[in-house]
Structure 1
């Protein structure tokens, strides 16, 4: 390969110099990215998420039998599948008079179970915090009723009612603006590096030594006539 250094190979120190030389482009990309995110947040309505918490009650008597204890532990996944069933979905939509499709229902209503826990959470998303809480509470009531009917025992009970959330889950201004800054920095730096690689001009003796791998024997000074 010889002593010549390919113009596309830039050392880390040179990258930092590129960032310093192309800071205007980087700053412009950051501003553009922030503006685009700001426009998106202004156009997209906020989404709120309310949570109602259900509890699977233990057996009435102390459990000493290993098989009975294992069966009780498996009740939570069973209840989760039941609450996510089409029967429950149809009952919730019909009772609340919602015109959601099945896909929209599954996007807005989520059932979550936790390992080593007898708790089930019902999450509901809506553009209105009070409506999200209302739907979550009514959905939880319907779910406990259907669970009692199907399982033939009142073992699923409401532990905590949903309350209107104060903060939206989407958009999140702090997070999205931080990502916008990082994206603008990445795009701006990439453009700056690309321009630097494509720029074949030699502006000083350091560029001669760096690109040609040859020592500079002398420099002709600039003289204003």
Structure 2
């Protein structure tokens, strides 16, 4: 089937091509706006500072501190995702767990700055968890790593606008899915109709039944 034939087929079934995608989009909109709660993201940025050696010169201290801290930033990022930080944070905040709140840690290899994002249904709790995790990771990093401190640059504040769900994207995806389904329906339907027509033409031409079809019973005396 060529593209032109497909377009002609879609035009022939224009009602289906319009109604099905719109119906899918409306269902997605109804579900996303009525059943999916808003989520909020609070972020805390931190700066990793490595321990300095007393016998280094000023320039040597700065250079070694820069390189060491850049390497330690990745380790601290991994530590932020550990069960220990999650359990300590939940305990400090008198929560059973951090279930319902997801975390995302961003750290580039050329930077000593780490960004922690906490996403959940309550904006105040998300901000509190983010700040508490930053405090706990600083304590644990000083205990188990060669880290002088993990200093907070910007504390998390309760977000005023939701970060999700991305409802317009859901509606757009549902619309496209409905469009593809409609195209599949008309293409398959056309293929089946074509097959039936061809079978009828062969039977009429040869005067014989096509395999899989019952022979026609002609009445007569």
Matched, 1:51 2:43: yes
Matches within 5 A, 1:18-167: 18-41=9-32, 42-57=34-49, 61-63=58-60, 70-100=67-97, 104=99, 108-151=102-145, 153-167=147-161
CA shift, 1:59, in A, is 6.1
Q: TM-score, normalised by structure 2?
A: 0.74
Moved more, 192-201 or 115-124: 192-201
Deviations 1:84-123 (A, max 9, x none): 223222210100122226xx47x61232222311111111
CA RMSD, 1 decimal: 2.8
Moved more, 63-72 or 171-180: 63-72
| 8 Å CA contact retained: 1:58, 1:72 | yes
Matches within 5 A, 1:135-214: 135-151=129-145, 153-200=147-194
CA shift, 1:43, in A, is 0.7
Deviations 1:16-45 (A, max 9, x none): 001111111121211221122123211121
Change (3 A) 1:54 1:126: same
Could you tell me which runs of 5 or more consecutive residues in structure 2 were left unpaired when the two chains were aligned.
53-57, 198-221
SS of the residue aligned with 2:79?
Answer: helix
Change (3 A) 1:90 1:45: same
Could you tell me which runs of 5 or more consecutive residues in structure 1 were left unpaired when the two chains were aligned.
1-9, 203-225
Change (3 A) 1:192 1:59: same
Count of aligned pairs between the two proteins? 191
Q: TM-score, normalised by structure 1?
A: 0.73
